[in-house]
Chains A and B, each alone.
Chain A
Amino acid sequence: DTGVSQDPRHKITKRGQNVTFRCDPISEHNRLYWYRQTLGQGPEFLTYFQNEAQLEKSRLLSDRFSAERPKGSFSTLEIQRTEQGDSAMYLCASSSGIRGFGYTFGSGTRLTVV
């Protein structure tokens, strides 16, 4: 297993377009998280899946954002009608639920909305 994979690494899109990101977690991990990081800030929690169930969403996740994890494996994060304020690094992480081991993060998808 090569860790958490995210695709694409970079995405430039025009304002108003829809974008979708993919995350492939570590296969044994049943917990999957999406975080967003902007310049000068730490990662901020967006949403959490346990297997295929989305159990928590942050208020940061507006109606334009939707996340799925069909079959409890890979996950997608879609942003509709992108705005310049959506420009950020979107990080996916997975975990076995053993707290002492933390999460394993992917390398992230850098979104730039122009």
Chain B
Amino acid sequence: DQQVKQNSPSLSVQEGRISILNCDYTNSMFDYFLWYKKYPAEGPTFLISISSIKDKNEDGRFTVFLNKSAKHLSLHIVPSQPGDSAVYFCAASAGNSGGSNYKLTFGKGTLLTVNP
């Protein structure tokens, strides 16, 4: 039972264009959402997060949009750069998940390739 789904295993974009990575979730208890980037042989690196009380959060070239009614979020990268090429994971946590452990549930990831 996958509670966080990233339905696109891969995405290829041209340098300078917009990259849009999508994520869907099923658990209504999720109230915090995060995006991580992962390079080969490294651990995931935190990129940006959004609380369920917001619908948009922006940090430099990265913007995350949240549509609670559709249980959908997306990460926009503008402009895309070759160094952005990595696997991007969507993750979610439920604030009231017993003990406030804030454990993260991850999607399977999307491999982004930005071509020069």
Contacts and interface: CB of A to CB of B under 8 A. Distances in A.
Contact of A91 (B34, B41, B43, B109): B43
B108 A42 contact: yes
A100 B108 contact: no
Nearest to A44: B106
B95 interface: yes
Contact of A42 (B46, B101, B109): B109
A12 B41 CA distance: 16
A42 B89 contact: yes
Interface in A18-53: 31, 33, 40-45, 48, 50
Interface stretch (A60-68, A69-77, A101-109): A101-109
Contacts of A106: 43
Contacts of B83: none
A102 B49 contact: yes
Contacts of A41: 108
B95 A104 contact: no
Contacts of B95: 99
Interface residues of A, number: 28
B106 A42 contact: yes
Given A102-B36, A102-B49, A102-B91, 11 more contacts: A31-B102, A48-B103, A56-B98, A91-B44, A99-B51, A99-B93, A101-B46, A105-B45, A106-B43, A108-B42, A108-B43
Contacts of B51: 99-100
Interface string A80-102: 00000000000101010101111
Given A43-B44, A100-B49, A55 B101 contact: yes
A105 B103 contact: no
A82 B56 CA distance: 45
A33 B93 CA distance: 14
Of B4, B36, B41, B102, the most chain A CB neighbours within 10 A belong to B102
Interface in B1-18: 4
B44 A105 contact: yes
A43 to B, nearest CB: 5
A111 interface: no
B105 interface: yes
